[in-house]
Amino acid sequence: MFKYLLPAFMVMSILTACNGGDEEPVNPPKKLGDGQPKFVKEGELTFMDAANNPIISIDIEIAESPAEQQQGLMYRSFMRNDNGMLFIFERDEPRAFWMHNTIIPLDIIYVNSKMEIVSIAQDTQPYSDESIRSNGPAMYVIEVNSGFSVQYGLKPGVKVQYAKM
């Protein structure tokens, strides 16, 4: 397929020269020292009971752009129990997620535009390409560690509120 292959050090030298030397990328990825993306708090999310009393609050990263939504929590081997990711979409629609390149098992919580939990996929299988569908239209999706929804008694109908930082 490739007629000519350049040694890796030559490719890196060419790329460095074309990039202007030691310049940092315009938007460097947020990564831990081991190459994993690191958690960046972008807001807070609270699950509310029927009387609008807080059940539990967590710090969240927010995935709004298609690139952020595609990346999700892939390549992370750890997430604190008081952290999660909130995916924000433009409208209520049936949603489907997968666990491709996702190392940690998750609970995937589907939430409608009324800010009510529609369905919860508990203890999802890491690395699975199986489609995990919502049980109704959802505008938001929350990913938390596996077991979180059972630990805090979350179920369809529980309200959610969030605030961006």
pLDDT beyond 90 at 39: yes
pLDDT beyond 80 at 26: no
pTM: 0.79
CB-side neighbour CA atoms (13 Å) of 26: 1
Secondary structure (DSSP) of 14-70: HHHHHTTSSPPPSS---B-TTSPBPP---EEEEEE-TTS-EEEEEEEEEE-SHHHHH
* Average pLDDT estimate for 5-9: 38
Q: Residue type for 52, please?
A: N
Q: Domains, the chain, ranges and CATH?
A: 29-164 (2.60.120.1140)
Given this model, what pLDDT does residue 16 score? 33
* Average pLDDT estimate for 90-116: 97
- Lowest average pLDDT, out of 22-26, 78-82, 157-161, goes to 22-26
